[in-house]
A = this chain, B = another copy of it.
Amino acid sequence: MATLANQIENYIKEQLAASKAGSFDIKRSALAEIFMCAPSQINYVLETRFSTSQGYCVESKRGGGGYIRITRLLVNPNNDLHYLVEEAEGKHVSQQIGEGLIDRLVEEEFLTKREGMLLKGLLSHETLRPTLHIQLPQGYELLIDYDLLRGRLLKSMLVTLLREDFE
């Protein structure tokens, strides 16, 4: 799937990989011009693929001489996993965000690739989606909050990672 968003994502990741400091500045308008798209497309890519939970920090400045700075964050086991647990508490997590977090933990070697695959399977809509159909009176609807459940599953995963006896 070579969507525009994916191409831009790859481009940014390449630049990031090539940079010594794990950080990279660029003008939003320049990026938009390279890919011949609307500038707001860049924001879409940053929101969906470079969020904090996915391990990136995005800063920017407007006005003349404005720019976007993307920084790759490294997970610090002692502080960040705890922070992520807090974050996951009661959080709504979409499938996309959940997979992003898992990919990050795999990249940082907190999880093996196998573990990542197992966990991503568990977080999928296909797995979570319910089969039960309950008869309710007219006008009432049954809503299952998959995103909340996903948040709980992720939290459990993080908590296990933090266990002292986890090797």
Query: Measuring CB to CB, which residues of chain A are less than 8 angstroms from any residue of chain B?
Result: 1-3, 5-6, 25, 59, 61, 64-67, 90, 112-115, 117-119, 121-122, 124, 126-137, 140-146, 148-149, 152-153, 155-157, 159-161, 163, 166-167
A160 pairs with B118, CB closer than 8 A: yes
**Residue of B with least CB distance to A134:** B142
How far, in angstroms, from A156 to B125 measured CA to CA in the complex? Answer: 11
The answer for the CA separation of A109 and B124 in the assembled complex, in Å, is: 25
Tell me how many chains of this kind the complex includes: 2
A118-B119, A131-B145, A143-B133 in contact; A124/B5 too (CB < 8 A)?
no
Given A135-B141, A141-B135: A118 in contact with B64 (beta carbons within 8 A): no
Interface class of chain A by DSSP:
mixed
Residue ID in chain B nearest A146 by CB atoms? B131
Bound Cα distance A22, B42 (Å): 35
Q: Is the CB of B134 within 8 A of A143?
A: yes
Task: State A1–B30 Cα separation when bound (angstroms).
Answer: 13
Chain B positions within 8 Å of A67 at CB level: 1
In the complex, are the beta carbons of B152 and A129 less than 8 A apart?
A: yes
